[in-house]
């Protein structure tokens, strides 16, 4: 699909325009965009109209910020034996492997909040974080779900991680859920002012858990684009699952990323329609495991060849129509 034909760009522009025409209206859509994404794109549409360049520039800025957040989070938590900028580089590289990824999308915007929440979760697992940390985690996950509706499932992800890997008090699960709900409460009050509070909730949750149809063409394209990072992730997971040579917190990070990958795969079925952009969630755990694979190679030339293949494949797919 060419840049000028981007479905996500056209759909986002229509959502932003509809919001600007009627700020209190509930706007249903086919790209699983939440109200926060609609509001943000409405602002872009108001300021810059339908400029393709604006979508690309904002997307590039977000990807750069996300790469910094992800890299900083892994460094701060000692995820690998050495401090490296490789996770951030791979994150940008994988997110540059298709023309559609160049545009701002609900999943891409939601990734920002998921990465910030991931940092909070890892801090809690390592230091048994404060109640403020728990509340903020829920709020960030809520903001992610308000950008991209299927991200609602990451509240369950956080609860699962805390249940399995931490001794979190029961009341803190309710506190995190409150933080999550509070983000929705802000938008509910906004729509309630226009008399659409109930319609907002009904529209958001009506299609949330409907299973989409699997398009074989999209599946094949996903496997082609993400094939190498997915293969590296499988190898890395198989080789390092026992945690040999890793400290306890590194093992926790690895297992949390595995859970994130599982939930990200579930999201592929929860979007209104399966597209390449649905898979932007998978890029976070794929980046982690690909980085782990490259850093644990005993022979550096093997890692260098694999990294070169990742660069070549990314560039090739980006410029292939």
For residue 132, what pLDDT is reported?
85
Mean pLDDT of 107-118: 95
Question: CA 117 → CA 43, 82, 162, 206, 257, distances in Å?
Answer: 25, 23, 13, 26, 13
Confidence band for 1, pLDDT divided at 50, 70 and 90 = very low
More confident residue, 206 or 47: 47
Give me 264's structure tokens: 């990200």
Would you say 284 and 264 are in contact if contact means Cβ atoms under 8 Å apart?
yes
Q: What is the pLDDT of residue 5?
A: 42
β partners of residue 148: 33
Dump the DSSP string for 245-299.
Answer: T--HHHHHHHHHHHHHHHHHHHHHHHSSS--GGGGGGTHHHHHHHHHHHHHT-SS
The parent domain of residue 295 ranges over 3-318
**pLDDT of the residue at 3:** 37
Give the pLDDT band of residue 285 (cuts 50, 70, 90): very high
The predicted structure's pLDDT at residue 210: 67
Select from 148, 115, 155, 140 the least CA-distant residue to 38. 148
Query: What is the Cα–Cα distance from 140 to 142, expressed in whole angstroms?
Result: 5
Q: What are phi and psi of 50, to 5 degrees?
A: -105, 30
Best CA proximity match to 241, nearest among 289, 298, 295: 289
CA–CA separation, 84 and 248 (whole Å) = 20
- pTM here? 0.92
Per-residue pLDDT, averaged over 231-253, amounts to: 77
pLDDT of 291 > 80? The answer is: yes
Which range among 22-36, 88-102, 143-157 shows the weakest confidence by mean pLDDT?
22-36
pLDDT cut 70: percent of the chain above it: 92
Total domain count, the chain: 1
Alpha helix segments (H runs only) across the chain: 7-21, 35-48, 52-76, 86-94, 106-127, 131-147, 154-165, 170-193, 197-206, 216-240, 248-270, 283-295, 300-318
Q: Please say if the pLDDT value at position 113 is more than 80.
A: yes
The mean pLDDT value of the chain amounts to: 86
Dump pLDDT digits (tens) for 58-73. Answer: 999 999 999 999 999 9
Cα distance between residue 122 and residue 135, in whole Å:
14
- More confidently predicted of 13 and 183: 183
């Amino acid at each position: 699909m060419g840049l000028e034909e981007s479905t996500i760009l056209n759909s986002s522009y229509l959502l932003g325009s509809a919001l600007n025409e009627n700020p209190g209206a509930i706007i249903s859509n086919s790209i699983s965009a939440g109200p926060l994404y609609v509001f943000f794109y409405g602002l872009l549409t108001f300021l810059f109209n339908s400029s393709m360049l604006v979508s690309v520039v904002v997307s590039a800025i977000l990807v750069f910020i996300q790469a910094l957040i992800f890299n900083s989070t892994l460094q701060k938590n000692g995820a690998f034996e050495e401090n490296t900028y490789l996770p951030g580089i791979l994150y940008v590289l994988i997110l540059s492997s298709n023309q559609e990824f160049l545009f701002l999308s609900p999943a891409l915007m939601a990734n920002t909040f998921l990465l910030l929440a991931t940092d909070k979760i890892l801090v809690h697992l390592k230091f048994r974080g404060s109640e403020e940390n728990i509340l903020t985690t829920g709020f960030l996950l809520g903001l992610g779900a308000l950008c991209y509706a299927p991200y609602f499932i990451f509240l369950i992800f956080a609860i699962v991680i805390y249940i399995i890997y931490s001794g979190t008090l029961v009341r803190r699960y309710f506190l995190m859920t409150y933080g999550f709900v509070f983000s929705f409460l802000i938008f509910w009050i906004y729509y309630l002012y226009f008399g659409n509070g109930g319609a907002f909730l009904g529209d958001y949750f009506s299609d949330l858990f409907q299973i989409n149809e699997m398009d074989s063409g999209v599946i094949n394209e996903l496997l082609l684009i993400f094939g190498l990072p997915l293969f590296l992730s499988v190898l890395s997971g198989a080789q390092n699952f026992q945690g040999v040579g890793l400290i306890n917190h590194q093992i926790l990070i690895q297992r949390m990323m595995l859970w994130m990958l599982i939930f990200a795969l579930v999201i592929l079925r929860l979007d209104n329609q399966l597209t390449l952009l649905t898979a932007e969630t998978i890029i976070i755990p794929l980046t982690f495991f690909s980085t782990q694979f490259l850093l644990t190679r005993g022979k550096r030339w093997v890692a260098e060849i694999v990294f070169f293949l990742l660069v070549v494949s990314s560039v090739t797919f980006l410029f292939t129509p």
